[in-house]
């Protein structure tokens, strides 16, 4: 009986902790004038792969996720955010989201549709770019 109460308490505490973590992950209410949802620091240099990824990101992803993945107010979430750190959303999450689309689950921007015309190499370069910008902002 005592074990049941402890287990129930642990489950409730875990659920509450998860709710607190993700309920605070909503976009800021007062976005900067350019519509960016987060302020970031760009890396001093990008690897060759990340440079190619930036070009692909700018062509396909920036329309929703903003220039340098800072998000766009009312349009798409920032990818330079702790929610997208590798331990929570691994690289494969980006591949799957781009290839198959993804249901909204952290933000209130709606579902992300699949992105046609990107090769696996394109996606690898985009992920390299996003990860390098994340690391420049303490997201590892």
Domain membership of residue 1 (yes or no) is no
**What pTM does this model have?**
0.76
| Residue 38: other Cβ atoms inside 10 A | 19
In the chain, how many domains are there?
1
Domain membership of residue 121 (yes or no) is yes
* pLDDT, tens only, 76-92: 999 999 999 999 999 99
What pLDDT score does 16 carry?
37
Q: Check which CATH number belongs to the domain holding 100 and give it.
A: 1.10.760.10
Is 130 within 8 Å of 43 (Cβ atoms)? no
* pLDDT, tens only, 22-73: 434 433 333 455 789 999 999 999 999 999 999 999 999 999 999 999 999 9
Domain membership of residue 17 (yes or no) is no
Residue whose pair of structure tokens reads 């190499």 in the numeric block: 121
Residues paired with residue 76 on neighbouring β-strands, in sequence order:
72
- Residue 117's domain comprises 30-136
């Amino acid at each position: 009986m005592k074990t049941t109460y402890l287990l129930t308490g642990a489950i409730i505490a875990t659920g509450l902790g998860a709710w607190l973590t993700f309920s605070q992950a909503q976009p800021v209410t007062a976005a900067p004038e350019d519509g960016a949802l987060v302020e970031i620091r760009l890396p001093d240099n990008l690897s060759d792969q990340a440079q190619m990824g930036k070009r692909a990101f700018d062509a396909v992803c920036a329309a929703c996720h903003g220039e340098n993945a800072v998000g766009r107010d009312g349009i798409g979430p920032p990818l330079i955010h702790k929610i997208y750190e590798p331990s929570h959303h691994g690289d494969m999450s980006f591949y799957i989201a781009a290839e198959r689309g993804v249901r909204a689950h952290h933000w209130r921007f709606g579902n992300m549709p699949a992105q046609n015309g990107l090769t696996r190499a394109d996606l690898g370069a985009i992920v390299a770019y996003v990860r390098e910008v994340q690391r420049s902002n303490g997201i590892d």
